[in-house]
Structure formats: structure tokens, C-alpha cells
Structure 1
């Protein structure tokens, strides 16, 4: 999945940056920490017809070095494997008995697992809690499972390319991530034939150490909280492995510092832009991105310091000061520049993908993912308590923009423009439907 990086949103007058008077999403939401050290977000939505469980892992394909490319995606598949020491070891069979469905995904910097069950099933929420706890503590990873899932991963990639927009998305993937390893490697790459049981187990442990779990939907918070605390009472999670190349720790000697986003609302002029910059320390940079921002902002002056410097964007009386590494915009933008892709073109490509995401996963699943992403990015001020609330309206249009802003770290590192009124627009001359020469 490819999403926006440096997100430039058209801002209304300064007053409009306050939260809108819209129905609040998950007003009784709370975050708890279990005995095993897992953070769990509970977000009941009274009257919802489903309960969803969404795992967010701050670990993805970029954590795999070249010799282990595809291991993250393989482990995502293995996470739906058999469970040890329980009466019903088949995860999918247990979920199916609840009338549920599941999915999983692997991106460059994050990965996730999801499950949804209807609330008409008695005890659905408690049963889903127990099922996810069994997966958390009792997942079986063995040579037979690795071989089976390796074949499925190969088949899945082939099917993806056979979809109507498969070649277009593959082209866009190559275009955006032209900066070399690990960015140019597809996150769903087939795993190495040499992947071992020990390596897969170590990767699963790494993912567990970087996990957040979200339960959202139609349930009462008190009994589900009790069920979570009882079910996830096992041994503490192990420490995460060192991050791989491009895994998000920033340049050597450059530690993430100040909050990722700061602005003075009183200085934001009507019709101006404000910059939402993501978690510090992710990716590599290119001056071309800054110049592209300046051009799109109508001649704004953009300057950046050296090393762990501070980016300053100024425009018509408003200014935005973002504490961030100088090397915080990925080499992807270089690829855009070489191909001559402008912001409007990329916006149309991006909008198509975000809309597909919202339609494919359903709004409840998608909002649960966003809440988990916010919990993984505490350096974004108010991500859960303030900023996210303003975007989590109960519509496809607003939810897809929330996904662009919060869900994937790489959604915050590829230059794109996503104003609130973005639509597909006409087909792009000289290109197939949403991409490709």
C-alpha cells in the first residue's frame, strides 16, 4: 500500500483548526496495559453490528535485510497458523464458528492483523478477546507452516498483479520507491527459500514487542476490559530486535527529538497551508522534495538545517516550524522528480488507493487501525485525543484521509497533496487508468 508522506492539507481560517462539532468517535475509548506489557485500546461504538480486533505492529518489510527479504510478509501469514495447547487449535476455524472474517497486511514500515465478528453471536467480544490472546501467546511456527505459507505468498503476489489495477500499482510502487534498498523492494516480496523456523520465530517476537491491539465496535467496555486483563496475563514480551536498514531509526547520530508537529494557529492565514510532519527519524531525504513543496505553496521560502536541523516553511504571514531531521523526506521524491510527476497526478493516484482501502476493509476496521497507529506514534501531539478526533468522522471520505494521515508512517514521507475536496478527476493523459506509462 502506498500513501501520502509529507501531507499538505488545505487549511481553513485559523478558527477552523479547532475540533468540529461532529459526532465523536469512540467517546469512551481508553488504553490499558496488560501484565504481558501489551498496550490495548478499547473503543466501543454503541449500536455497531460488529466487533473488530486490529493488531498494529511497528515493524514491516523494511526491517528485513536483503538476505531475509520477504520474512515480514511470511510471518504475517504464519500469524494465522495453528495455536498450541488449546482444544481448538485452528485459528480460522474458531473465527469462522463466530461468523467472523480476518485479514492481514504488510507494508514497508508497519504490518497488521485484523479480525471481525458480528455482535449477534452471544459472547462475541469475549470470544474474540480470548482468540487473539491465544494467538498472542500460543502461535505455532514450524517448518511445515513456513513451506505452506511460502507457496501462498507467491500465489498472492501473482494474483495481485492480475487485478485490474495490479500493473498500475506495481508501476507506482516502482516510481515512488526508486531510492534503492530497502525502499525499492516490494513489501510483499516472496520470502527467501532459506528462511528458517528460528528466523520466523525471532521476527514474530520482534513484531510482538512493537505491537498495539485495538478492540472496537459493539461491546460494553467493562466486561471487555476484564476479559483483556485476564486473557493477556502471560509472560512479558521480549525486547525487539535491532531495526533493519530503513527501519525508521533515522540517520546515525541523529536521535528523534522534539514533537513532530508544531504550529501557531494564530499565524495561519486564510487559504494558507499547514504542514503535518510525521514521527521523527524515518527515511532519507532529498532537497528536491523541499523545492517541490515551495513551488506548490506558491513561492514559499523553504530552508532546512544540517543534520538534526529544523525545517522552516514560511508563506504570506503564516509560518510553520517543524522539529525534524534534515534527512526526513525519502528518496521516493527523487523518483517522482525524474518521472516528471506533479502533485495533481500523484493526488489522483493516491486518492484511488485510499478509497479502495476504505471500501475493502470497512470503516470500523479502518478506524480501529487508525487508533492503533496513533497509539504507536505518541510523538504526534494529540494524535488520539485531539487531532485524530477531527478526522474520524463516520464517512468514507473523512476516514480515508485519516488513514492517509495516521495509519502508515510512509504515508507521511512521500510528497502528495490531499485537500478535503479531493476527487479522482479525469483520466490522466498518456497513462492507464490510475498510473503507468
Structure 2
């Protein structure tokens, strides 16, 4: 589910070999800064331009400051619904023509995605078609067609996507259930429900609900436009002013409220999964938002614990104890501006009780709480982290997304390159400290995914 790309894996291998041979690792090398410019249009649209002539490609990337966190009880799934609705046509673009026009212009890598904090839309094109990408994004920001027909059609598409990707897949529904169960919906509904939305909420949504949601969040004053690649800034600014400048600003969206205390007591939950063949155990802990000073140590800890064949969990639980067929550790499922979840999970081996898997998972965590990690483990985790970040900046799309992430989650586009310093500064003492601070029993939730009992 979260395997690294071959390129990232190759870089990580080079880093590990360099460490073993006493050669300088990637950790000792600096990342060249991404030169970029920020400005804001009178209607509130934030613009970031990052010029790079290494390839004749440009990327147009729009992030709307809306995701599952902006939804309310009984009306979930709207942000994800608009990921689909935004391709249903606008005043000057017929339904389905957005992607067709990009392809005819030689573009690729176009789509939209939804997360807890944002919805993004993007396309990469030959540099001489920058105008096309900007015009398309502006036209749907200005005049999206929200008709009853489009709404009903895309609601059914989203429901089918939920059936295909979640409800009819083993373990996925249980995993998402585990993630959302850690956050208290009474005090932080923003992060306590699934991004894709529930079937009941999707069925209950009305056209007026959807129109109101769009008017509130899909306006220029709630969006950031990033352009990266082979372009002239003066030309890009002129096009952006021409296409986006007269789009009216919308109302200021309501603030998101979220209070999630830590260390509120151990919780246990059991979920039956009719698609599962083996039990799965999730041990989860609440952790802070991405910009927290503790986040880098927690993310590197998750790598040491459960990323790859040499991780502690894989060595102890899969290889030595042979108690699980697979294990993993994750510091959340991506950055957030609110509380996140540290996850360890294991899929029990045939004939092994879930209690045994749970004990083995928690034993490995407690070994770090009490004894910490060694310098070699930390260096390897840092090198893997750095390699993945370097690989992510190799394309105009990767740089655009990195600029957006730095802006949203760290509040400063300049953190696109300086953020790595937070991770490289982590010490073995930091790893032990955050493990003791957050990975404690009274801050945990244990979720058991049980196969459905088959009756003869």
C-alpha cells in the first residue's frame, strides 16, 4: 500500500551503502533552494511562481483550502464530491473536455485529489501551453456548472467509488475506521470522519447543500495557485491577471474548531470485516499536527519501526516470531493542520491469535520508549527521508506540490527546502522522548479487525 518507488528505494540503498562504507551520506548534502515569488491578486488569490528552464514543461497547480475538515455532521463527503464535480464543465468548457483539452495540448499528469485539509487540481503541459492550463483552471473557478444532472451523476460515481475502493476491499474499511476512531468526533469532528463520506450522508445531500458548499469554499480568496517550470514570470503574471483577476471573491469561510486532548485513556474496539481472511491488529496513538516540533522525530520513528524489510517490527514480528504476514508503522496518512494518528498494524499469521500480535507490536514500541534507537537506525531513516524528498523535487509537478504543502502545513513557502532541516536535526534522544510522550497506553486506541465467522 505504501511501497516506495524504485527511484526512492534506489536512492535509499545508495545512502545505506554510503553509511556502511563510511562515505558521505545524502544527509551531508544540501538541497538547492527553489527560487520562487509570492504575490496576491486583489480578489485574494494567492500566487506562487517558481521558474525553472531545465525542461520545456510547466505545471499549473491549484489548492483550495477545503477538505474533509470543513464538513459538518450529516453532510460529509462534499469536498471529495467536488473533486469530481470540478470536471463536469463550466461556461466555456463542456463536460469531460477539461482533460481532453489538456491531452490535445500535449499535457499529462492531470487530476484532482482530496485530503482532510485541501482539495487540489493540477496539470502538466508543454511550456508553450501555459495559457491553456491557466484558462481551464480559471474557467471552472469562475463558472462551474452545478446542475442537478451533474450532481446526481457524480454522487452516484462517488458512491460507486466508495463501494469499489473501500466497502468491497478487505481491511481498508477497517483501517479507515481505526484511523477515525482515535479522534473524538464530539470535540474534533474535522478529523474524525472519512474523507470520502458515508453512504447515508451522500444520499441525504441536496443540490442546495452542494451549491452552498461551493459558494463558500471554491473562490479565489480560498485558493493558492502555483505555477512551476519553463515560463517567463512577466508572461505568467499577465495571463493570471487576465484569467483570474476579475473572478469575485467569496465570503470568508468559517473557522474550523478542533480540540483533541491527549492521554485520555486506553480504548478498545472490534470491527468485523466480511472480506478479511485473517485478523488484523491496529495499535494507534494520537499525535500532534505536522508543524509541531515533535513531528519530525515521530515520522523518523515510524520509519525505524515499520518501514521496509529491516524495520524493527518486520524483523521481530514477521521474521523472528512469524506471528504476522505483514506489519507497518505510519506517522499519520499525510500531513495535517490538526491532530494526527501514529499507527502500528499487523496482519496475523494463520493460527496466531490477535492478542499475540498486539503484544509483539506494543513490546517493540515499549523497547524504544525504554531503550531508544541507535545512531545507525536514525541515520538510515534520515537518509531514506532525504532521498524521498529529493526525488519528489525532480519534476515540475513535484515542486508545485511541495510549495503548496509548505505553504499550507508550515505557513511559509520557503519551508519547501528548509523543512528538511527539522528532520536532519533529530537526535536519538528526540526519538526516545517523543516515543515516551505520545506512544503510551493511556494515549492509545487498539482496533481489532475480525474476519466474519462463516457458518456451515
TM-score range, shorter chain: 0.5 to 0.7
Contact between 2:404 and 2:413, CA under 8 Å: does it hold in 1?
Answer: no
Contact between 1:71 and 1:200, CA under 8 Å: does it hold in 2?
Answer: yes
Q: Deviations over 1:300-337 (max 9, x none)?
A: xxxxxxxxxxxxxxxxxxxxxxxxxxxx9737469999
How far 1:357 sits from its partner (Å)? 12
Aligned residues: 306
Contact between 2:288 and 2:340, CA under 8 Å: does it hold in 1?
Answer: no
1: CA distance between counterparts of 2:388 and 2:31?
Answer: 25
Aligned to 1:42: 49
- The 1:170–1:55 alpha-carbon spacing in structure 2 relative to 1, beyond 3 Å, is farther
**Structure 1 counterpart of 2:75, from 47, 68, 75:** 68
Map residues 130-145 of structure 1 onto 2, 5 A cutoff. 130-145=135-150
* Partner SS, residue 67 of structure 1: coil
2: CA distance between counterparts of 1:139 and 1:416?
Answer: 47
Aligned to 2:122: 114
Contact between 2:289 and 2:338, CA under 8 Å: does it hold in 1?
Answer: no
* Partner SS, residue 228 of structure 2: strand
TM-score, scaled relative to structure 1? 0.56
- The 1:248–1:214 alpha-carbon spacing in structure 2 relative to 1, beyond 3 Å, is farther
* Partner SS, residue 40 of structure 1: strand
1:220 to 2:223 alignment: no
**Structure 1 counterpart of 2:113, from 96, 99, 105:** 105
Map residues 309-348 of structure 1 onto 2, 5 A cutoff. 330=339, 332=341, 340=362, 342=365
* Partner SS, residue 66 of structure 1: coil
2: CA distance between counterparts of 1:234 and 1:360?
Answer: 34
How far 1:436 sits from its partner (Å)? 9.9
- The 1:392–1:200 alpha-carbon spacing in structure 2 relative to 1, beyond 3 Å, is farther
Larger radius of gyration: 2
**Structure 2 counterpart of 1:31, from 18, 22, 38:** 38
- The 1:103–1:248 alpha-carbon spacing in structure 2 relative to 1, beyond 3 Å, is farther
- The 1:38–1:23 alpha-carbon spacing in structure 2 relative to 1, beyond 3 Å, is same
1:174 to 2:177 alignment: yes
1:237 to 2:245 alignment: no
1:127 to 2:132 alignment: yes
1:22 to 2:27 alignment: no
Map residues 11-410 of structure 1 onto 2, 5 A cutoff. 21-25=30-34, 27=35, 29-85=36-92, 90-101=97-108, 102-119=110-127, 123-161=128-166, 167-178=170-181, 179-181=183-185, 182=189, 183-190=191-198, 192-207=202-217, 208=219, 209-243=221-255, 247=256, 278=290, 330=339, 332=341, 340=362, 342=365, 363-377=395-409, 380=411, 383-385=412-414, 387-390=415-418
2: CA distance between counterparts of 1:365 and 1:436?
Answer: 40
Contact between 1:35 and 1:233, CA under 8 Å: does it hold in 2?
Answer: yes
2: CA distance between counterparts of 1:51 and 1:142?
Answer: 32
- The 1:369–1:140 alpha-carbon spacing in structure 2 relative to 1, beyond 3 Å, is same
How far 1:161 sits from its partner (Å)? 3.8
Q: Deviations over 1:68-103 (max 9, x none)?
A: 111111112111121115699932332232233421
Contact between 1:70 and 1:188, CA under 8 Å: does it hold in 2?
Answer: yes
More helix by share: 2
1: CA distance between counterparts of 2:193 and 2:387?
Answer: 24
- Consecutive unaligned residues of structure 1, counting only runs of 5 or more, are 3-15, 253-274, 281-288, 297-327, 403-414, 418-434
Contact between 2:260 and 2:339, CA under 8 Å: does it hold in 1?
Answer: no
2: CA distance between counterparts of 1:195 and 1:375?
Answer: 32
How far 1:22 sits from its partner (Å)? 3.4
* Partner SS, residue 236 of structure 2: helix
What's the Cα RMSD here? 4.9
- Consecutive unaligned residues of structure 2, counting only runs of 5 or more, are 3-24, 262-286, 302-336, 346-357, 369-377, 425-433, 437-448, 452-456
Contact between 2:88 and 2:94, CA under 8 Å: does it hold in 1?
Answer: no
1: CA distance between counterparts of 2:61 and 2:78?
Answer: 21
TM-score, scaled relative to structure 2? 0.54
